[in-house]
Amino acid sequence: MSNNSIKFYQDNASEYATHKSQPNSMLFPFLKQCKAGGRILELGTGAGVDAQAILEAGFELDATDGSSELAALATQRLGQEVKVMMFGDLAAINTYDGVYACASLTHALREDLPSICEKIYSALILGGLVWASFKVGTHDGTDRFGRYYNYISKDELDTYWKQAGPWSSIAYESWEGSGFDKVPTSWVAITATK
């Protein structure tokens, strides 16, 4: 993640934390596919709204965020520590039943995505699955807040994930939405099972 993106989340953590009050509706179909009570890794927990829903659904959770300010806010919400971690620092092997990354890996530098996908594959147990969402586009860019996005196409995304390991299944879903910036945005998400 770029320094400018981290700086935005550090400087605006409290404001950012209030923009989302309900869990992502796509979280729940993902959780239904995970082993009941299994261990989930969340990459980019933000203020912990989705993380709270994961815990309330009876899963074990390792929540992480690249911003120490957001991690502190999420720690207060969840009553358990949220680890400050960059995507590239993921080193778990055969540990997680699920990896969940809602609108977070879209901030990863494009050149880092292949290795991040490999790290996620390695972190999953056999039969574990990942759900990750991205802003769609054809080239890198920043929004009006200076946050970096890889703005990636489904085909390019597909290439990165297929190179990461021999998944037993890969599926995509696309939709129109927005985010903190309120700008109309095309999104794509991958669900892949190891």
Q: State the amino acid at position 72 in one-letter form.
A: A
**Which pLDDT tens digit goes with each residue over 12-48?**
878 887 777 799 999 999 999 999 999 999 999 999 9
Total number of residues shown for the chain: 194
- What are the boundaries of each domain within the chain? 3-15+24-193
Residue 96 has pLDDT above 90, yes or no: yes
Q: What is the pTM of this model?
A: 0.96
Q: Which residue has the tokens 């509706």?
A: 25
Q: What is the CATH number of domain 3-15+24-193?
A: 3.40.50.150
- Looking only at the bridges linking them, the beta strands covering 39-43 and 60-65 are parallel
Q: Spell out the residues 6+ positions from residue 25 whose beta carbon is closer than 8 angstroms to its own.
A: none
Q: Spell out the residues 6+ positions from residue 52 whose beta carbon is closer than 8 angstroms to its own.
A: 23, 77, 78
